[in-house]
Structure 1
Amino acid sequence: MKKRQAVIVFGFLLLCNFIHAAEIKINSLKELATYAAKSGNIIVMEPGVYQMEDYLTSEVVKNTKPDKVGRYAMIKFSGSHNVFDFTGVTIEVDTKLLIVFKARVSEFYVEGSHVHIKGLTVTDIGNHPKAKGGHSFTVAGDDAVIEKVTLNMSGSFPYGYGDLLGKGKGALVPLKKHSGMCIEGLNDKIIDCSIYSKSYGHCFFVQGGRNVLFENCYAEGVTRTTDDMLSEISGPAFDVNFASVYKNYAGENIITPGYTKSLNECGFRMYGKGGVNGVKTGAVTAINCTAKNTRIGFAFAKITGDVLIKDSKAIGCELGYNVGGLTVENSIGDAVNGPLLYVNKGEKTTVELALLPTESKTKVHVLAAIAGDYHNITLTKWRNMKRGQNLPIKIGVTRPPANNGFSPLGTVKTSGIVLNNSTEMSVELNSESSECKVISNGVVEDKGNNNEIIKK
């Protein structure tokens, strides 16, 4: 409620700033770029489909300057105190344009403060990768409101294998990522936005953002079975003999049959720091948000401020929730393509999740893995609907490398966990667990020390 009130107050204050501002109507990307660099205006763009290539001429490219960390922008919103109404507007970006700067590039870059953008659809055409990676949408300014923006993303290489061929140092194939919406500013609000990704990269992610709100946002990726990857007769994976940077349970660095991978990164992700000044990430809230078919639905952890995930959903993800030092409240998820939950070492985590009944068609090894101390975890059945397949909840267990489903989990000393389990799934406390309290309506196996087991 406080977050919603803050949005209303912000909107009222923004409106007050524009009481005397005239509404400016535009119908070209050239006009948009001009007014994006000015301040104190209300800009309404004529509905229709616009082509980025009509604006991004060689002359525009030559005169475009990077920010101080070397990122270029196709269109930069450098002005402040502006409202841009894009209702009914689609801007198409031919992905061949992603290499014109021969550097990291954002299609749209919000640099100014108090910028309100609403109603825009951005659609990438084709699947040509960026020269050195980048974002569809960067929100670096403070007090921005990004509302009802839809990103239809493509343009990365390699695409079709998720992270199995690696990223960064040690990658089997050089990676050119294309991520979605990056939040780097203070008090930014992302409302009713959607990302549909056919690109390797994150959907919504925070790097250096502080007091960031995601509300009613939707992130959707694409999944593919490892069996389908192994059926290829050409392509990047075929060229490296279907090797993987991750080991499987047999200790082999190969793409392993029987699993499902997301071809994207996370639906919602937090990094430790970011932005042009490398500031530490602060408080982040996600309310009524959904991640579907992404590598991780919500990869959030406390860094310098409180983090809350509330009334949210993760479905079809390789991992639903990868969390630490935060609160997950009244949220749901499945274990169709991977675990529902990993809780990591660090500050106390409080989780309240309901398990959807949808069952797996490929291999999943655990429902949840809980590591660290004094977390409070409540797992229930969604609408009291039972899941037939048993997946164990493991205490004293750490996530596998990069959360990869066919890589083995680890173990770590874990104590003081309170688990209230109403899913009927089994619970396993390993020899590294101690002083834990488990209340469960499923089978409990206790190999630890001084744990308290209460049967429901």
Structure 2
Amino acid sequence: MKKVVVWGVAAAGMLAGWNAKAAPPKPEEQPGFGFQFLENPPMQVIAREPPPPEPVTEDFEVRPGYVLIDSLDEFRQAIQLSGKKIRMKPGIYRAAKTDPPLQFKAKHKNESGELQLLKQDHIFAVNGSNNYFDLRGVVIETPVSLQGTLSRGSHVADSWHINGDNNTFIGGYFRNVLDKPYPDFAATECEFEVCGDGNRFFNCTFVIRGSIPYGYTDFYGKGSSHHGRLNKHSFMSILNANDTSLIGCKVYQQSFGHCLHFHNVDGVTIRDCYLTGALRPTNDIFKERVGRAVDYNFEMMYRKQQPIPRDWIIPLTEDGIRAYNNVRNITVVDTTVERLRGCFQLLCPEGDITLENVTVLECGDFAFDLSVGDNGKVVMKNCKSDVAYNPVFNLTRGDRPKGAFFELTVLSPPEGARATERSGLGIICGDECEFILHDGTTRPLPDSANGLECGGKLGLVDSKITNYTTAKLVLQPNVKNCRIDSVGPVEDHGQGNRVRAIQPPRR
């Protein structure tokens, strides 16, 4: 169900009736504080409100063999050790100091055959290995006031560095606190950077906040200061580290930055997780009185200077799950990814990409862009995506998929969502691939959003499409020798294709 969260002055005004004898609310408890200039009207944001932490109780389990600790000082000592089982007493712990900076030597060679020597600045440095940290009922907060004391050097400061191997984090609630007004703070580059092998997170919740600017997607750049200060804040980078697992985790990405991004990685498993971001109607930007959009006369400046478009829905985050250089063997199972920019952008040089029982909802730019080179395979089995504001497939940026399998059930957008000029099934390509489209809609899609472009700039050759939906398939001239079985109409501009009309299966 779609929820609109309102951040800003009007929402904050609801606090005017609080009891003057009680302690005044903390700044971070005021809606909109730290997200936007409070001189602006409330920002209309389509986002999920993170769940509150579990109530603190004195009745909690300490599993056999675990040592109980009850302070962040003890926790800082424990994360330097190895082979320990630590149970932290339930409660809310706000970090007030940092661990010493490090120079960390990467454990795996990069594409140039080098072991990178990395400068690290952090609030927490987990340097021990083979530990279990039972954090059920524990909330660990990293305020932006503390993050801002760390280095501003590129790729140096992250709130957490996980440098050790085979550590397991169980049940923790990790959240950023915006305890300074927007834009008078600095955030770390990532909340977590994983640099060791075999680290695992079970049933953890992450609330990620704090970036400048916020509210404009990438209209004012993604790596340049030409159009004002840029301070991104992502959830997790996995860097030169293999076999990371996130199981049963929830991530609320409410800052401009990636949710998960990978660099020089072999093996990531994401299972039973929920990753959710934030969207904004562009029409809402025109209500602002101060800020980046006003400064530039409501024009976007990145890539091409032009007026901010009306009637779009834009992501306030970067990508959901993103591969950069030298990444392979990514598995995502039984997971929902929602309201993030490119929900899956996995362009890998080799290895396998496996998505099974994955659902994408209200993607901010596209749902799926998946490819590997000659030494790997893409398998997308029993996956789902709604057709809301942006295209589902965007198979345009990586290598043309070869021998890949794509199975997708098309869902209706949420109630009240209106199609934009970008809505649709998107673009597919491939060589000896199979695409199966199922119809899971509960009401007809608009004709403008009910189409799939086949071929694109990369072509579709010797492949099979089985389309059980009413979507129109447009075969571009570079679609050759393909078999097309379709309920919806087919417009064939290609060569040597065999097109057959079929009936929809019974529901």
Q: TM-score range by the shorter chain?
A: 0.7 to 0.9
Q: How does 1:366-385 map to 2 (within 5 A)?
A: 366-382=424-440, 385=442
Give the stretch that moved more between structures: 297-306 or 128-137.
128-137
Give the stretch that moved more between structures: 335-344 or 306-315.
335-344
1:434 corresponds to which residue?
480
Q: CA deviation at 1:431?
A: 2.7
Which of residues 391, 394, 410 is equivalent to 1:342?
394
Pairwise CA RMSD: 2.2
Q: CA deviation at 1:371?
A: 3.0
Check conservation: 2:148, 2:188, Cα contact below 8 A.
no
Structure 2 distance, partners of 1:454, 1:152, is 49
Give yes or no for the alignment of 1:99 onto 2:125: no
Give yes or no for the alignment of 1:452 onto 2:490: no
2:454 corresponds to which residue?
395
Structure 2 distance, partners of 1:252, 1:141, is 42
Name whichever structure is richer in helix by fraction. 1
2:31 corresponds to which residue?
none
Structure 2 distance, partners of 1:131, 1:66, is 22
1:199 corresponds to which residue?
255
Give the stretch that moved more between structures: 31-40 or 386-395.
386-395
Which of residues 81, 85, 91 is equivalent to 2:130?
81
Q: How does 1:280-359 map to 2 (within 5 A)?
A: 280-318=326-364, 319-325=366-372, 326-344=378-396, 345-348=399-402, 349-358=404-413
1:190 corresponds to which residue?
246
Give yes or no for the alignment of 1:164 onto 2:210: no
Q: Deviations over 1:184-231 (max 9, x none)?
A: 322221111111011001112222221211111111111001111233
Relative to the length of structure 2, the TM-score reads: 0.75
Unaligned runs of 5+ in 2: 1-63, 105-116, 373-377, 503-507
Which of residues 275, 279, 286 is equivalent to 1:230?
286
Which of residues 413, 418, 422 is equivalent to 1:361?
418
Structure 1 distance, partners of 2:427, 2:467, is 13
Structure 1 distance, partners of 2:370, 2:226, is 26
Structure 2 distance, partners of 1:206, 1:101, is 23
3-state DSSP class of the match of 1:65?
strand
Q: CA deviation at 1:232?
A: 2.0
Check conservation: 1:98, 1:129, Cα contact below 8 A.
no
Structure 2 distance, partners of 1:336, 1:388, is 9
Check conservation: 2:217, 2:315, Cα contact below 8 A.
yes
- The number of aligned residues is 406
Structure 2 distance, partners of 1:78, 1:130, is 28
Q: CA deviation at 1:164?
A: 2.1
1:24 corresponds to which residue?
67
Pick closer, same or farther for the CA change 1:193–1:45 going to 2, 3 Å: same
2:199 corresponds to which residue?
144
Give yes or no for the alignment of 1:119 onto 2:161: no
Q: CA deviation at 1:42?
A: 0.6
Structure 2 distance, partners of 1:163, 1:47, is 39
Q: Which letter maps to 2:395?
A: V
Check conservation: 1:90, 1:120, Cα contact below 8 A.
yes
Q: CA deviation at 1:122?
A: 1.1
Q: CA deviation at 1:243?
A: 2.4
Q: CA deviation at 1:328?
A: 0.8
1:242 corresponds to which residue?
298
Unaligned runs of 5+ in 1: 1-20, 273-279, 398-410
3-state DSSP class of the match of 2:75?
helix
Q: CA deviation at 1:330?
A: 0.5
2:190 corresponds to which residue?
135
Give the stretch that moved more between structures: 282-291 or 63-72.
63-72
Give the stretch that moved more between structures: 79-88 or 21-30.
21-30
Q: CA deviation at 1:157?
A: 0.6
Q: CA deviation at 1:246?
A: 5.7
Relative to the length of structure 1, the TM-score reads: 0.83
